[in-house]
Amino acid sequence: MPERTNHTIEQQLRELAPQVLSPVVRRFRDFAAAEDAVQEALIAAAAQWQRDGTPANPLGWLIQVASRRMADHIRSEVARRHREQVVAEEAQRLALPEDAACDNSEDDTLVLLFMCCHSALTPASAIALTLRAVGGLTTSEIASAFMVPEATLAQRISRAKQTIRESGIPFQLPTADERAHRLGAVLHVLYLIFNEGYASSAGPQLRRADLSDEAIRLTRIVRNRELNNTEVAGLLALMLLTDARRAARTGQDGNLIPLAQQDRTLWDREQIAEGLALLSDALPRGSVGPYQLQAAIAAVHDETTQADDTDWPQILALYELLKRMSDNPMITLNHAVAAAMVHGPRKGLELLSPLDSDARLAEHHRLDAVRAHLLEMAGDKEAAITHYRMAASRATSLAERNYLMMQAAKLNETWPAD
């Protein structure tokens, strides 16, 4: 069998990860140990499959290796307690055949997703555990994506698994009522994963495609089960409509290109069409939630072929609806920009004033960045330069920092000449 690229194998392993973890957890009833065993199996597969080729039954191979790891774990634990005979019998009873397969892989993925996004976990822990247990990413990859030490990330995952163990959550798909109650947390985690992938909060890269792709994949799985939930459709539409601009967001030098200056011929029209279809189907059916409204805003941008044709009054109206549903300061920032595009920059600057005392934006670069942009629109170049530099000093993303410094430098070249 010909060798396959690392990227292809990694993609396959990420898709198989929850299908492997589910039967191992179900059989051994130890989420934490099973998750560790599956990670070891995935690491072994990444090395061996690249060298020897993919086995005829990849899922069975991974389940078998993970099961052996679990058997070894049981032997070790029982040996430590002087029960060698008990563990030998237990390991033999629990061994899974190599051709074992999971007939309900999508349901099992949902079980894991709802388990990893349990309300008992913090969002940071839920994200880390979801990416590792459901997404198949290694601890090192997740730590790299979120720019935290690997040891810190490992502790976060360990605490999350301990919380799940202590909570006694059964390994089964929640009932319809439980699913409805916990769905919001699942969608929030997927939304956060997508946002981190689309616009990395730290590091040299503007985006992490592996994270945004994984968020889209998992949201599709939730959507397949929750076909009547319009907010699930709204979130998937939002991801698709936003991710469709991926190729146009950076230049060849990796520098950030703002929305108004992007080459829209590079936008993925198939993704846009799918997102629009999802949104068009969802909006007339029942109440409209924040994900649908954000998707509608993204759709207004994506439907225009040039920035000057953007329907800013419609975007402003959508943001006003969104503000009534959420007090998220980022929504207020974007609302101020939309208001500036409709009523002028001074109106936008006026709407920013209440955010100066919002502790959630303390030390965040986005408020200064938006204020600098609106001051530039208003012709106050000196103040704009000051705020661009302040924003750059607070930005943790290298791509955003470079963009903000470049904006300040451009204005500095022309001020106060004109």
- Residue the block writes with tokens 């070249």: 413
Q: What percent of the chain has pLDDT over 90?
A: 42
What is the C-alpha separation between 214 and 112, in angstroms, rounded? 15
Q: Where in the sequence is the domain holding 362, given as residue range(s)? A: 311-418
Is the backbone peptide bond immediately before 416 cis, with ω within 30 degrees of 0?
Answer: yes
Q: What is the pLDDT of residues 237-283, one digit of tens each?
A: 999 999 999 999 998 888 899 999 999 999 999 999 999 999 999 99
Residue type, position 68, single letter: R
Does the residue 410 lie in any domain? Answer: yes
Confirm if 65 and 44 have CB atoms less than 8 A apart. yes
CA dihedral 146→150→152→156, nearest 10 degrees, is 80
pLDDT at 101: 45
Q: What is the pLDDT of residues 359-403, one digit of tens each?
A: 888 778 999 999 999 999 999 999 999 999 999 999 988 889 999
Nearest residue to 269 (alpha-carbon basis) of 247, 290, 284, 291:
247
Does the residue 322 lie in any domain? Answer: yes
Tell me, rounded to whole angstroms, the distance of Cα 110 from its chain centroid: 16
State the sign of the Cα–Cα–Cα–Cα dihedral 344, 345, 348, 354. Answer: negative
Does the residue 52 lie in any domain? Answer: yes
pLDDT at 359: 87
Residue that finishes a domain, picked among 84, 102, 120: 102
Does the residue 10 lie in any domain? Answer: yes
Does the residue 393 lie in any domain? Answer: yes
Quickly state the pLDDT bin for 83 (edges 50, 70, 90): very low
CA angle 18, 4, 56 (to 5 degrees): 60
pLDDT at 91: 43
Q: What is the pLDDT of residues 297-317, one digit of tens each?
A: 999 999 999 999 999 999 999
Domain count, the chain: 2
- Residue the block writes with tokens 């774990």: 73
Does the residue 178 lie in any domain? Answer: no
Q: What is the pLDDT of residues 163-209, one digit of tens each?
A: 888 877 777 777 778 888 888 889 988 998 898 888 887 777 788 88
Q: If 0-12 CB within 10 Å is exposed, 13-18 middle and 19+ buried, where does residue 193 land? A: buried
Where residue 403 sits, what CATH number does that domain have?
1.25.40.10
pLDDT at 98: 45
- Per the DSSP assignment, residues forming a β-bridge with 250 are 256
Does the residue 62 lie in any domain? Answer: yes
Residue type, position 172, single letter: Q
Does the residue 341 lie in any domain? Answer: yes
Residue that finishes a domain, picked among 70, 85, 102: 102
Angle, helices 230-243 vs 176-198, to 10°: value is: 10
Residue that finishes a domain, picked among 77, 102, 127: 102
DSSP summary character for residue 204: S
